[in-house]
């Protein structure tokens, strides 16, 4: 059916892999990440602000039933994680869901997916950096009894002038990413180990003071509260898809990317549920709900000292920094893939021959992410970030179905189990439910955001697309051949 391919500009998985060099060294990138590094990278991308900062917001919505909210959010992510695992093994390139959409649904959809990923990664990195600033102050207070002045630790919307710690953590992540993937992977692995140890220590402290009565009433706001808590808890899982952006820098991406995704999702879900029960069981849901630096507060209350809270704050500082590092890495690789395809400016595809990293693109991303972290209050766009992420996940599930039908012979090292349509459709259904829970105002904002993205595609991406350029060159060549034959 050549006509739909021309209209939608679908790029085959084989072409994506060939262009990226994913079966060899890709465009100057080096294969340095093994399975362990990929798992640490995934944990680094996921575990951070969502549990250290966002837990209190989820508890405020669902109460002790936040555990159910975490499980429901995980189920939503697991369905999509299975789809990511299949596509990540079959199309091991840096573009992640953008490339999967390009192969399954065509260029316009792929551009809008990339547009949503800019929102997801941009808002999440900026929000995570702001959360890092909160825990830096908590750590300083635990160690010295003092905090940074509000003017230098919060943006104008929160009573300050500039959030300097947020800018610093983004700059440090940028420096590591520019130096090289090997250095970034080592730092991520070390930080993942530290934050897992800290969270396990928190669980030990929380369960030592556990009281059954703190879990009642279990669901004070009923099913509505659990649903709202699930939407809030979903932010805690954002980032697992970043594993697939390492497709061109993994040693054995077709085997290791699917395994890393599934291991990370299982590990993180168990950890989140254990931490939530420990926090609420120790002090009660009412005292956790809406409280900044909630985990440090719980430890301080249980131990009667600020030293334990300071240790938790140190863990949070490390954990959140690793999220900034991992998510910025994912964003630069997605932009690199889009740049190769001509849909965004060429600066993002340039790889430094010295460090084998897209250094110029990384610097641009760091500056763009640092500005809202330094000056803006991001609460107003958090739901917009969530709905954009859910839309991307729904598209990935649909891409699995489309590619099963269009490319049945594609080499797949992992396949979504059961019927090839059932689980991806369930993934779409769960995504749509959580999108519905974000509310009418968020849907309107999202529609406007997509409209702006469509205009950007029509104004720049469609005209500069390398796929369209190749098609025009082929048409010109065919016309020239026909003219020569006529003569």
Along the 487 residues of the chain, how does pLDDT read in single tens digits?
343 444 568 888 888 888 766 444 445 567 777 888 888 888 878 887 678 777 888 888 888 999 999 898 888 888 888 898 889 888 988 888 999 999 999 999 999 999 999 888 888 788 778 878 877 887 887 778 788 888 888 888 778 899 899 899 999 999 988 887 777 778 878 888 888 888 899 999 999 999 988 988 898 888 888 988 888 888 788 777 778 887 777 888 888 888 888 898 889 889 999 999 999 999 888 888 877 778 888 888 898 877 777 888 888 888 888 888 888 888 898 898 899 899 999 999 888 888 888 889 999 999 998 988 888 776 667 778 888 989 999 999 999 999 999 898 888 888 888 766 788 999 999 889 888 888 888 899 999 999 999 999 999 999 899 887 655 544 444 444 444 454 4
CA distance 346 to 225: 46
d(CA 446, CA 383): 9
Are the beta carbons of 279 and 206 closer than 8 angstroms?
yes
- Please, which residues bridge with residue 250 across strands? 33
Euclidean distance between CA atoms 110 and 338, whole angstroms: 9
* Integer Cα distance of 262 and 268 in angstroms: 10
ω before 217 within 30° of 0 (cis)? yes
What is the spatial distance between Cα 102 and Cα 8, in angstroms, rounded to a whole number? 9
CB atoms within 10 A of CB 221: 16
Residue 172 is predicted with a pLDDT of 92
Are 426 and 304 a contacting pair, CB within 8 Å? no
CB-CB contact of 322 with 328 (8 Å): no
| Distance in angstroms (rounded) separating the CA atoms of residues 98 and 395 | 10
Q: Distance of CA 289 to CAs 234, 285, 295, Å?
A: 17, 6, 11
Region of 27 on the Ramachandran plot (φ > 0 left; ψ -120 to 50 alpha; else beta): left
Which CATH architecture group holds 19-450?
Answer: Up-down Bundle (1.20)
User: Hey, which residues does 33 pair with through a beta bridge?
Assistant: 250
**Helix, strand, coil content of the chain in percent (nearest 5):** 80, 0, 20
Q: What is the largest CA-CA distance in the chain?
A: 94
In our burial notation (b when 16+ CB lie closer than 10 A, e otherwise), range 13-46 reads beebbebbebeeebbbbbbbbebebbbbbbbbbb
Structure confidence at residue 295 (pLDDT) = 85
If one counts every other C-beta atom within 10 angstroms of the C-beta of residue 358, the result is 27
Q: Which two structure tokens, joined as six digits, stand for 352? A: 């430094």
Residue 157 to residue 187: CA distance in whole angstroms: 33
DSSP single-letter state for residue 218 = S
Whether 334 and 114 have beta carbons less than 8 Å apart is answered as yes
Query: Nearest-CA neighbor of 370 among 338, 322, 328?
Result: 328
Contact criterion met (CB below 8 Å) for 427 and 83: yes
DSSP 33: B
- Contact between residue 103 and residue 132 where contact means Cβ atoms under 8 Å apart: no
- How far is it, in rounded angstroms, from Cα 277 to Cα 291? 16
Residue in the structure block whose two tokens are 């290791």:
256
- The pLDDT, as a whole number, for residue 229 is 86
């Amino acid at each position: 059916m050549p006509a739909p391919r021309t209209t939608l500009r679908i790029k085959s998985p084989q072409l994506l892999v060939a262009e990226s060099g994913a079966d060899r060294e890709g465009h100057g990138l080096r294969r340095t990440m093994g399975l362990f590094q990929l798992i640490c990278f995934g944990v680094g991308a996921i575990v951070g602000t969502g549990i250290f900062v966002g837990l209190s917001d989820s508890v405020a919505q669902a109460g002790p039933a936040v555990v159910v909210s975490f499980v429901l959010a995980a189920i939503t992510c697991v369905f999509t994680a299975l789809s990511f695992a299949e596509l990540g093994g079959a199309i091991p390139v840096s573009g992640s869901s953008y490339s999967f959409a390009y192969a399954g649904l065509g260029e316009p959809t792929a551009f809008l997916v990339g547009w949503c990923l800019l929102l997801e990664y941009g808002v999440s990195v900026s929000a995570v950096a702001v959360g890092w600033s909160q825990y830096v102050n908590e750590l300083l207070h635990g160690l010295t009894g003092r905090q940074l002045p509000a003017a230098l630790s919060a943006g104008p919307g929160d009573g300050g002038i500039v959030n300097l710690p947020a800018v610093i953590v983004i700059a440090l992540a940028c420096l590591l990413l520019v130096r090289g993937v090997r250095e970034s992977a080592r730092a991520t692995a070390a930080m993942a180990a530290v934050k897992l140890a800290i969270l396990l220590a928190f669980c030990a402290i929380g369960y030592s003071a556990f009281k059954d009565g703190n879990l009642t009433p279990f669901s004070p706001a009923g099913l509505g509260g659990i649903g709202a808590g699930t939407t809030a808890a979903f932010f805690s899982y954002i980032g697992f898809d970043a594993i697939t952006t390492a497709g061109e820098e993994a040693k054995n991406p077709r085997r290791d990317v699917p395994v890393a995704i599934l291991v990370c999702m299982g590990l993180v879900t168990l950890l989140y549920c254990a931490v939530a029960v420990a926090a609420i069981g120790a002090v009660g849901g009412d005292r956790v709900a809406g409280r900044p630096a909630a985990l440090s507060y719980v430890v301080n209350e249980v131990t009667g000292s600020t030293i334990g809270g300071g240790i938790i704050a140190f863990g949070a500082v490390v954990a959140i920094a690793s999220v900034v590092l991992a998510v910025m890495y994912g964003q630069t690789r997605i932009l690199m893939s889009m740049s190769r395809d001509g849909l965004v400016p060429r600066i993002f595809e340039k790889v430094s021959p010295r460090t084998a990293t897209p250094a110029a693109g990384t610097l641009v991303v760091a500056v763009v992410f640092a500005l809202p972290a330094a000056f803006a209050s991001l609460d107003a766009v958090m739901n917009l970030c969530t709905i954009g992420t859910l839309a991307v996940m729904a598209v990935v599930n649909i891409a699995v179905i489309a590619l099963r039908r269009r490319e049945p012979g594609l080499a797949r090292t992992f396949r979504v189990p059961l019927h090839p349509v059932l689980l991806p459709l369930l993934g779409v259904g769960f995504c749509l439910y959580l999108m519905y829970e974000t509310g009418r105002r968020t849907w309107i904002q999202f529609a406007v955001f997509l409209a702006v993205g469509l205009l950007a595609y029509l104004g720049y991406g469609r005209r500069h697309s390398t796929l369209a350029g190749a098609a025009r060159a082929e048409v010109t060549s065919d016309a020239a051949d026909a003219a020569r034959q006529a003569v």
